[in-house]
């Protein structure tokens, strides 16, 4: 099955962000440098599979799984 | 803020500090002002406002305001709203203002987004590029002049940690000339906030490519990734956190007991000295037993507050605290809390006061409120003397269950009970408290850095100051009220006791200290507190409490451990030899009408549960008033915990009797 959201990725994966299906979340993540076109790396996944630590450029960001489900990506 | 066209610097200027979280904003603030700073609140909200002063040059003085960290000027939290409102307020025209936007140069693109939005406010601004040391370590260089040209405002490279570049920054402030404003991005040309942000990023990307030269790979991020492999490991991560907690608790429980003893003894000695030099009478009593006792009750908290915040400041400054939140979030999320709630909840086992203050690190308003609400349910160190006395009274030391000491089991059960009550309360409240803030837990994990000791020191100092001066007012007031209640009584009953003991004390061979103790006890009985104790007796009788316990519940609102002292005073009556310990006296106590023992198992357990749940602590109430910005939540908390205590005690008493 093709992986389409960030929540489905595993540690070490790299993915290109295509879009975020939530306006509030988009604003928040855009302002932190997480914008469409950027490459996201899955750095770590906390025990219980939630939250997920990602890195974009040199920023490390922790996001909850339910928010990661709204982030459309494409694995690279 | 003044209209730009009127901008003219004379002898005073206001610097407004804006920047991303973790951009080194507070470092710059601290290095500019040193101890010349004060902490307050922004009007109407509980967001911390830091204001300081420094000299720009011989002629020019500056006031500096540190605004809460924000990623953008599209506010989404209370903190960011404060920053937004402050920057857009055009009514402050007393002195000229310059915005310093501080940007982490090792993470340029994201930090420049905020800078670009500030430029479009068309107000005097300077861009300070911080963390130039990391840029150099990463073998990068920034063309500062080119960047200044692109943005149209002065750009100054600095390293706030060691104070490098400060002279240049002051120079830029002192010689500030209003530049011709040009919009970075015209808001009319973009269709919405999202589009606007993306257009900005496009432009910023181009500027960064033109000004930033990179030779190697970013080294600091690599180190952080390596450390994270251990510190957020699914097994080692928790073990390391457990170890950190262990050290923290050791410190708060055992290290702080030494200065706390000094403070306690110091106040005792000073109180005795004061009561001896002042003429006897009401002023003497008010000062020594009311004001000084209240002051002592405040100062005693300082060691614990200072120690807890030493740890929290270090954990936060190094970047470790956000990793702890990362590890704990999944667990605490279910109860409406966040990963960051773990520090207040655990700190509550030492003392709820510093623990509640530490909830400031939780950025989501609702999660912070829930954390503050449930923290006093965790059994704190002030409950230990009460637990110890009561457990010893109702459970024989040798009693065992499966070769475990029953006293120890009950003690542990009380701690567990508090924790469970806290978690369940939060789980229930999660659905009841409305919040317009979205529950996205998006948190930046800063790279690991060594703590900045001066920042740690200033944090401790500020926290202690806030507690002393804000919560202190309420504590002193309540302390004086409690003193009045237990010193005065209706009618001339008090005077009669005085007369009676004047005669007794003059009989030859009388033990003065014994008769004084008995006098204190009789007086307490006829005082207002005593009358209230008797008045509420019908209400607390179903819990197995008599009026003496009623008095103790009233007086121990000052602090739970006062229960033990009040009991000691009350039971000194009738103990002619004055040899028995407070425990023995209580064990002997019988109900005068029925002849039965007062402290049966049922009453004991009921009282234990009562002290586990009831909010018997004026300092906690005072700090909740301060931290939630009003009386609404502390009153709800007081009533809720009181009701929980009452009902639980009622059930326990009925089961055991």
Report chain A residues touching chain B, CB-CB < 8 A: 23-33, 35-36, 43-44, 46-51, 53, 55, 57-64, 67
Instruction: Choose the closest CB to A62 out of B76, B197, B445.
Output: B445
Q: Which of A51, A52, A54 is the mutation pick for testing B, counting most B CBs within 10 A? A: A51
Stated pTM of the model:
0.80
User: CA–CA separation, A38 vs A18, rounded Å?
Assistant: 8
pLDDT at B523: 85
Specify whether the CB–CB gap between B476 and B295 falls below 8 A.
Answer: yes
Measure A18 CA to nearest chain B CA, in Å: 13
Minimal Cα–Cα distance from B235 to chain A, Å?
A: 9
Chain B contacts of A27, Cβ < 8 Å? Answer: 72, 74, 76, 193-194, 197
Residue B198 has a pLDDT of: 92
Nearest Cβ partner for A28 among B327, B331, B440: B440
Mark yes or no for CB contact B225/A29 under 8 Å: no
Closest residue in A to B220 (Cα) is: A58
| Model confidence band, residue B4 (pLDDT cutoffs 50, 70, 90) | low
Higher per-residue pLDDT: B362 or B319: B319
Contact state of A57 with B438 under an 8 Å Cβ cutoff = no
The answer to whether the CB atoms of B331 and A48 lie below 8 A apart is: yes
Tokens of B503: 């005669």
Collect all residues with Cβ–Cβ distance below 8 Å to B503 and sequence separation of at least 6. none
**Nearest Cα residue in chain B from A46:** B327
pLDDT at B7 over 60: yes
- Decide if B330 touches A, using CB distance below 8 A: yes
Mean per-residue pLDDT over chain B, rounded? 86
**CB-CB neighbors (< 8 A) of A33 in chain B:** 107, 109-110, 113
Taking the CA of residue A11 and the nearest CA in chain B, the distance in Å comes to 11
Residue B436 pLDDT grade (very low, low, confident, very high; cuts 50, 70, 90): low
Instruction: Identify the band that residue B557 occupies on the pLDDT scale cut at 50, 70 and 90.
Output: confident
Mean pLDDT of the B419-445 span: 85
Is residue B575 scored above 60 in pLDDT?
no
B5, pLDDT greater than 70: no
Does the pLDDT value for residue B172 go beyond 90?
yes
- Given a cut of 90, whether residue B287 has pLDDT beyond it is no
Q: Which residues of B touch A70 (CB under 8 A)?
A: none
- Summarised one tens digit per residue, pLDDT across range B379-390 is 988 888 889 889
ipTM of the complex, rounded to two decimals: 0.94
Residue B79 has pLDDT above 90, yes or no: no
CB-CB neighbours of B308 under 10 Å:
27
Residue B214, H or E segment: strand B212-214
Report the run of H or E that residue B12 belongs to, with start and end.
Answer: strand B12-19
CA distance A21 to chain B (A): 12
Q: Which is higher by pLDDT, B393 or B189?
A: B393
For residue B437, what are its two tokens? 């803030």
Cis bond upstream, residue A51 (ω within 30): yes
Residues of A within 8 A of B113 (CB-CB) are 31, 33
Rounded to whole angstroms, the Cα distance separating B406 from B409 reads 5
**CA B345/CA B330 separation, integer angstroms:** 16
Q: Among residues B644, B647, B651, which one has the least CA distance to residue B615?
A: B644
Residue of A nearest to B235 (CA): A47
Cα distance between residue B608 and residue B645, in whole Å: 10
Mean pLDDT of all residues in B458-467 = 86
What is the mean predicted confidence (pLDDT) over B94-115? Answer: 93
Asked whether residue B45 carries a pLDDT value surpassing 90, the answer given is no
Report whether pLDDT(B213) > 70. Answer: yes
CB A17 within 8 A of CB A34: yes
* pLDDT attached to residue B154: 94
Half-sphere exposure of B107 (CA within 13 A, CB side): 29
Q: What is the pLDDT of residue B214?
A: 82
On the 0-12 / 13-18 / 19+ scale of CB atoms within 10 A, B11 is: exposed
Between A28, A46, A58, which is nearest B442 by CB?
Answer: A28
pLDDT at B507 (0 to 100): 81
Q: Where are the alpha helices (DSSP H) in B153-301?
A: 166-174, 193-211, 219-231, 236-250, 257-277, 282-285, 293-299
State mean pLDDT over B90-100.
90
Is B442 an 8 Å CB contact of chain A? yes
Minimum CA–CA partner of A66 in chain B:
B440
pLDDT score, position B98: 95
Q: Which two tokens stand for residue B295?
A: 């002051």
> Using CB atoms, which residue from A43, A49, A50 is nearest to B228?
A43
**What is the pLDDT, as a whole number, of residue B376?**
97
- Which tokens sit at B108? 């340029």
- Contact between A33 and B298 under an 8 Å Cβ cutoff? The reply is no
Q: What is the pLDDT of residue B641?
A: 97
Across B145-159, B175-189, B384-398, the highest mean pLDDT is recorded for: B145-159
Is the per-residue pLDDT at B177 higher than 90? Answer: no
Two structure tokens written together for B127: 């861009």
Specify the higher pLDDT residue, A60 or B214.
Answer: A60
pLDDT category of residue B229 using cuts at 50, 70 and 90: very high
Q: What is the mean pLDDT of residues B95-104?
A: 94
Selected from 2.30.30.90, 3.40.50.300, 2.40.110.10, 3.30.70.141, the CATH number assigned to the domain covering A3-75 reads 2.30.30.90
């Amino acid at each position: 099955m093709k992986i389409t959201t960030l929540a489905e990725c595993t540690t070490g994966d790299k993915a290109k962000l295509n879009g975020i299906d939530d306006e509030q979340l988009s604003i928040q993540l855009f302002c932190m440098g997480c914008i469409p076109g950027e490459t996201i790396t899955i750095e770590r996944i906390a025990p219980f599979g939630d939250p997920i630590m990602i890195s974009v450029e040199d920023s490390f960001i922790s996001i909850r799984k339910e928010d990661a489900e709204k982030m459309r990506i494409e694995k690279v | 803020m003044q209209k730009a066209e009127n901008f003219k610097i004379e002898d005073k200027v206001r610097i407004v500090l804006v920047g991303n979280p973790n951009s080194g904003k507070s470092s710059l603030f601290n290095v500019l002002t040193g101890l010349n700073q004060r902490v307050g609140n922004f009007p109407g909200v509980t967001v911390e406002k830091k204001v300081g002063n420094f000299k720009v040059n011989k002629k020019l003085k500056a006031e500096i305001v540190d605004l809460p960290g924000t990623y953008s000027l599209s506010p989404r939290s209370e903190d960011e709203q404060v920053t937004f409102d402050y920057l857009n307020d055009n009514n402050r025209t007393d002195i000229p203002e310059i915005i310093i936007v501080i940007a982490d140069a090792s993470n340029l693109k994201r930090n420049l987004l905020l800078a670009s939005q500030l430029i479009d406010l068309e107000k005097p601004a300077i861009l300070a590029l911080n963390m130039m040391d990391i840029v150099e370590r990463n073998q990068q260089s920034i063309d500062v002049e080119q960047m200044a040209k692109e943005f149209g405002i002065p750009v100054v490279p600095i390293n706030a940690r060691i104070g490098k570049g400060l002279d240049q920054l002051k120079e830029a402030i002192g010689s500030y000339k209003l530049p011709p404003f040009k919009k970075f991005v015209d808001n009319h040309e973009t269709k919405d906030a999202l589009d606007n942000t993306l257009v900005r990023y496009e432009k910023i990307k181009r500027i960064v490519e033109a000004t930033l030269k990179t030779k190697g790979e970013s080294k600091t991020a690599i180190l952080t990734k390596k450390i994270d492999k251990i510190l957020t490991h699914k097994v080692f991560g928790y073990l390391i956190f457990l170890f950190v907690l262990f050290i923290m608790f050791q410190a708060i429980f055992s290290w702080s007991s030494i200065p706390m003893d000094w403070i306690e003894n110091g106040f005792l000695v000073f109180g005795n000295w004061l009561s001896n030099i002042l003429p006897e009478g009401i002023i003497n009593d008010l000062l020594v037993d009311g004001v000084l006792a209240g002051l002592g009750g405040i100062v005693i908290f300082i060691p614990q507050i200072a120690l807890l915040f030493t740890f929290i400041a270090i954990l936060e400054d190094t970047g470790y605290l956000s990793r702890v939140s990362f590890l704990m979030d999944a667990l605490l999320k279910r109860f409406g809390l966040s990963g960051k709630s773990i520090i207040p909840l655990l700190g509550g086992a030492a003392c709820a006061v510093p623990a509640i203050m530490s909830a400031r690190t939780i950025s989501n308003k609702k999660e912070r409120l829930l954390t503050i609400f449930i923290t006093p349910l965790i059994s704190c160190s002030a409950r230990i003397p009460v637990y110890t006395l009561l457990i010893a009274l109702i459970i024989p030391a040798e009693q065992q269950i499966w070769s475990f000491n029953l006293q120890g089991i009950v003690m542990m059960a009380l701690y567990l009970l508090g924790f469970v009550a806290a978690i369940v309360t939060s789980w229930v409240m999660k659905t009841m408290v409305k919040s317009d803030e979205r529950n996205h837990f998006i948190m930046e994990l800063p790279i690991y850095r060594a703590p900045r000791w001066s920042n740690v020191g200033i944090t401790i100092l500020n926290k202690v100051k806030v507690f002393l001066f804000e919560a202190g007012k309420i504590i002193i007031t309540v302390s004086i009220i409690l003193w009045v209640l237990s010193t005065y009584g209706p009618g001339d009953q008090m005077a009669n006791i005085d007369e009676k003991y004047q005669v007794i004390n003059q009989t030859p061979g009388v033990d003065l200290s014994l008769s004084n103790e008995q006098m204190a006890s009789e007086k307490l009985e006829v005082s207002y507190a005593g009358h209230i104790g008797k008045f509420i007796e019908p209400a607390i009788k179903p819990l197995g409490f008599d009026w003496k316990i009623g008095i103790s519940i009233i007086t121990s609102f000052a602090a739970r451990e006062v229960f033990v002292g009040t009991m000691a005073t009350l039971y000194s009556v009738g103990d002619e030899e004055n040899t028995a310990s407070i425990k023995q006296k209580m064990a002997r106590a019988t109900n005068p009408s029925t002849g039965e023992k007062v402290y049966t198992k049922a009453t004991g357990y009921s009282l234990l549960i009562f002290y586990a749940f009831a909010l018997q602590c004026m300092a906690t109430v005072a700090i909740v008033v301060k931290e939630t910005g009003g009386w609404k939540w502390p009153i709800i908390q007081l009533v809720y915990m009181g009701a929980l205590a009452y009902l639980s005690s009622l059930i326990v008493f009925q089961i055991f009797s």
